[in-house]
Structure 1
């Protein structure tokens, strides 16, 4: 009869992670849960890409709001734009291989940004179908889209 007791991985992820780290540090690879370790490492990579998309989505949503609702521009929107630029920059510095994923990340982020920007009571079809700005422009400290651009 198979053991139906949940493994440490299933019962207590934190304890499992610490146990696996200790086994790896001690060079006890045969005792390590290699399959789950590999799964978790892959998951960490996906998490980094999702984080980039999330930060870009917030940045792009606020740039859209800035452009399409200039009468509602605020210091809060400005702070969010500036902060997200720094967060994206730092995230890419920590994960330089994500730069190869920028086109896909911007496209995915822009979809989310349009949904978020529509909270301003503008219909989603107000916004372009694809991101109207190049990544380098979006990241430029001096870039603040103006209402005349649409």
Structure 2
């Protein structure tokens, strides 16, 4: 059982934190000095921090993809592509399977659209209407073989489709 738990800790940290917190709360206190409720809450918080970290990395990835798609002639394009590679790679490395159902891609997308729009407008760029749903899936964004150029093209096509068809 210890090997299974150690393995889960390494492969699905979020799932492990939620399971361990539940076990702690259900266990009879062996030592009255243990603060079971707060220990369980701290372990759960570690899992929630994982969700926030991955969400933030995906948001940054999408912001830079959007900026690249909207302003492909920018002098900052090389920097944006480097940022995409860094943020997306970090998201892949930090991801564990138990997080997938906890990540709200549509909310991350809306926040990324707002961030990219505000940043670009601040630089005087007219931002077109953006798709209401993310044109990339979590699987796309968390693919170790992710191609920022191809992803930028997907976003460009989706933005053009919205402009043309209002979708």
Distance 1:53 1:65, change over 3 A: same
Structure 1 residue aligned with 2:114 = 115
The one of the two structures with greater contact order (alpha-carbon pairs below 8 A, sep at least 6) is 1
Structure 1 residue 62 displacement after superposition: 0.7
CA RMSD of aligned residues (A): 2.3
Structure 1 residue 148 displacement after superposition: 5.3
TM-score when scaled to structure 2?
0.63
Distance 1:40 1:123, change over 3 A: farther
Structure 2 residue aligned with 1:101 = 102
DSSP-derived class of the 1:30 partner? coil
Structure 2 residue aligned with 1:71 = 73
TM-score when scaled to structure 1?
0.69
1:45 matched to 2:44? The reply is no
Structure 1 residue aligned with 2:130 = 127
Alpha-carbon distance in structure 1 between the residues aligned to 2:137 and 2:33:
49
Moved over 6 A (4+): none
| 8 Å Cα contact 1:57/1:113 also seen in 2 | yes
Q: Which has the larger radius of gyration?
A: 1
Structure 1 residue 32 displacement after superposition: 1.0
Distance 1:113 1:148, change over 3 A: closer
- Structure 2 gap ranges (5+): 1-28, 161-167
- Structure 1 gap ranges (5+): 1-26
| 8 Å Cα contact 1:53/1:108 also seen in 2 | no
Alpha-carbon distance in structure 1 between the residues aligned to 2:35 and 2:120:
49
